[in-house]
């Protein structure tokens, strides 16, 4: 990963049904910025989780964070 | 190992580390991706043969033959895309042991992680909730080394012939719409996302097509909790006849929490007794 400067962070974004991708962002970037960078627009039912906790798009990310964009699904056959 | 009459056979204990589990896991998914690349290569070759045969036909320029050729070419494009994806997964696979463990340990719903001598990575969760109601502490296991197998145990509300969860029976999750999400993460080497998605499955999965209705499972769980509370050793008959006294002595958040705690303590003791026979040796990570 090529970092533009020492302040950059790398986060991984997973989304139910899509391949996970890593994005490089400036330090103190929000989840919204990370999602935009990954080309993700949240659907109505989609919720964002970071480190097992519910997060909002304004939350600040740290280097190495894994963002999981989750939507309700059915169990069963 | 040789056994002598009158002595107990001692099985060799093979301690497994997270690093050895990761190595075995990496071998498993590499093999899966390589098989995929190979099978796509075979499919492409077969299609190329078909295209060659079709082009050599006297009616090769007819519309029907052109449609067939176009379909084979489309299929080949898709196969090449799959091959490229699989190769990309192999090149990008980031299974840094320290980073992964650090991330997993920082997960707010994970209590501990162990690797058993049986080759299973076990992730023990904290008490999970469906909305605001406790549904138990769970153990999510993924084997590596002799095939990838996934098991989930409810360590709090489970008993023989009862479901661990509305979508988990005999420790096997009925993933439904979560199947691709979970297994894609496993095959792509995304262990953290796999565990996180399993926790979301446990706490969020709907019950359409699950083993039972969620409400029915909650009813069963309540009965189980009551049964376990009755069997709780050290609680006198007098106390059992006086639920209020139990609640006063427990000092938990709510009455529901107190009976859960009683049930959990009893079940925890049971699990401590039985776990040693299930997992010969575990390495805390």
- State the pLDDT confidence band at B48, using cuts at 50, 70 and 90: very high
Rounded mean pLDDT of chain B? 80
Write down the mean pLDDT value for chain A: 90
The alpha-helical segments, DSSP class H, found in A20-61 are 31-37
**What percent of chain B lies above the pLDDT cut of 90?**
54
d(CA B132, CA B254): 12
pTM: 0.76
A3: tokens are 């970092």
Please report which confidence band the pLDDT of residue B284 belongs to, taking 50, 70 and 90 as the band edges. low
Question: Which pLDDT does position B233 carry in this prediction?
Answer: 57
> What was the pLDDT predicted at B157?
86
The stretch B219-238 carries a mean pLDDT of 70
CA dihedral over B104, B105, B111, B112, signed as positive or negative? positive
* DSSP conformational letter for B1: -
For residues B124 and B136, what is the distance between their CA atoms, to the nearest angstrom?
Answer: 11
At residue B283, the pLDDT reads 53
Chain A residue with Cα closest to B206: A74
Q: What is the mean pLDDT of residues B65-69?
A: 93
The model's pLDDT over B177-210, given as tens digits with 9 standing for 90+, comes to 999 999 999 999 999 999 999 999 999 999 988 9
Number of inter-chain CB pairs under 8 A, A vs B: 88
**Are the Cβ atoms of A68 and B199 closer than 8 angstroms?**
no
Chain-chain contact of B177 with A77 (C-beta, under 8 angstroms): no
Q: What is this model's ipTM? A: 0.90
> Is it the case that residue A1 has pLDDT exceeding 50?
no
Distance CA B72, CA B238 (A): 78
CA end-to-end span of chain A:
40
How far apart CA B191 and CA B182 sit, in angstroms, is 10
Shortest distance, CA B180 to any CA of chain A (angstroms): 7
User: How high is the pLDDT of residue B281?
Assistant: 44
Query: Could you report the per-residue pLDDT of B247-261, keeping only the tens digit for each?
Result: 333 333 333 444 444
pLDDT digits (tens, 9 = 90+) for B79-120: 999 999 888 888 877 788 898 999 999 999 999 999 988 889
- Closest residue in A to B102 (Cα–Cα): A64
Q: E-strand spans in B85-243?
A: 110-116, 120-130, 133-143, 150-154, 168-169, 172-173
Contact A60, A28 (CB under 8 A): yes
What band does B145 get if pLDDT is binned at 50, 70 and 90?
Answer: confident
Q: Determine the distance in angstroms separating the CA of B99 from the nearest CA of chain A, rounded to an integer.
A: 8
3-state secondary structure of A55: strand
Determine what percent of chain B is predicted with pLDDT higher than 70: 76
């Amino acid at each position: 990963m090529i970092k533009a400067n020492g302040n950059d962070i790398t986060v991984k974004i997973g989304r139910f049904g899509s391949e996970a991708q890593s994005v490089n962002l400036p330090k103190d970037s929000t989840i919204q910025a990370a999602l935009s960078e990954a080309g993700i627009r949240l659907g109505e039912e989609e919720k964002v989780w970071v480190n097992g906790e519910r997060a909002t798009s304004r939350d600040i990310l740290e280097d190495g964070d894994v963002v999981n964009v989750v939507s309700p699904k059915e169990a069963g056959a | 190992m040789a056994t002598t009459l009158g002595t107990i056979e001692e099985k060799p204990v093979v301690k497994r580390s997270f690093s050895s589990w990761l190595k075995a896991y990496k071998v498993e998914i590499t093999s899966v991706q390589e098989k995929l690349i190979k099978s796509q290569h075979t499919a492409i070759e077969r299609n190329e043969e078909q295209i060659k045969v079709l082009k050599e036909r006297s009616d090769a320029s007819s519309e029907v033959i052109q449609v067939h050729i176009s379909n084979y070419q489309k299929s080949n494009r898709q196969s090449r895309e799959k091959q490229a994806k699989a190769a990309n997964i192999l090149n990008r696979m980031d299974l840094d042991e320290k980073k992964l463990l650090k991330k997993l340990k920082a997960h707010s719903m994970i209590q501990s992680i162990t690797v058993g001598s049986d080759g299973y990575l076990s992730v023990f969760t904290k008490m999970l909730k469906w909305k605001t109601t406790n549904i138990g502490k769970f153990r999510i296991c993924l084997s590596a080394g002799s095939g990838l197998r996934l098991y989930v145990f409810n360590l709090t509300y489970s008993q023989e012939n009862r479901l661990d969860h509305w979508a988990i029976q005999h420790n096997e999750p009925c993933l439904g719409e979560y199947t691709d999400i979970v297994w894609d993460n496993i095959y792509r080497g995304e262990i953290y996302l796999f565990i996180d998605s399993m926790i979301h499955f446990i706490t969020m999965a709907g019950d359409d097509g699950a083993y039972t209705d969620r409400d029915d499972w909650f009813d069963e769980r309540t009965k189980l909790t009551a049964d376990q509370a009755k069997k709780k050793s050290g609680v006198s008959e007098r106390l059992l006849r006086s639920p209020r006294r139990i609640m006063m002595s427990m000092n938990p958040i709510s009455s529901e929490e107190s009976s859960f705690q009683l049930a959990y303590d009893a079940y925890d003791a049971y699990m401590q007794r039985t776990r040693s026979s299930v997992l010969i040796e575990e390495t805390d990570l």
